Amino acid sequence: MRYVKDLLERSAFGVCSYLGDKMGVASARVRLNFIYISFVALGSPVILYIFVAFWLNVRDYIRRKRSVIWQ
């Protein structure tokens, strides 16, 4: 069971960890609330999750490019 949890945490793009760090709560709590909201809202938060994951990846890419330019 621990293996499955570790695999999901590594492959979930870090969105819940990022939001948890920004809000000052545990990422497990954010993940649990996301699951509850997804059931209540019939899956529409999944679109928001994908958008945030895309945005975090783009932001990291831009930051890496800027650091290479200035070096």
Say what the pTM is: 0.51
Tell me which DSSP letter residue 65 carries.
H
Q: Are 51 and 58 in contact, with CB atoms under 8 Å apart?
A: no
Q: For residue 56, what are the contacts with CB-CB under 8 A and spacing of at least 6? A: 13, 14, 15, 18
DSSP result, 22-46: HHTS-HHHHHHHHHHHHHHTTTHHH
Give the integer Cα–Cα distance in Å for 32 and 45: 13
Domain count of the fold of the chain: 1
Span of 17-26, 31-40, 59-68 with lowest mean pLDDT: 59-68
| pLDDT tens readout for residues 39-61 | 888 877 778 878 888 888 787 77
Range of the domain at 46: 2-70
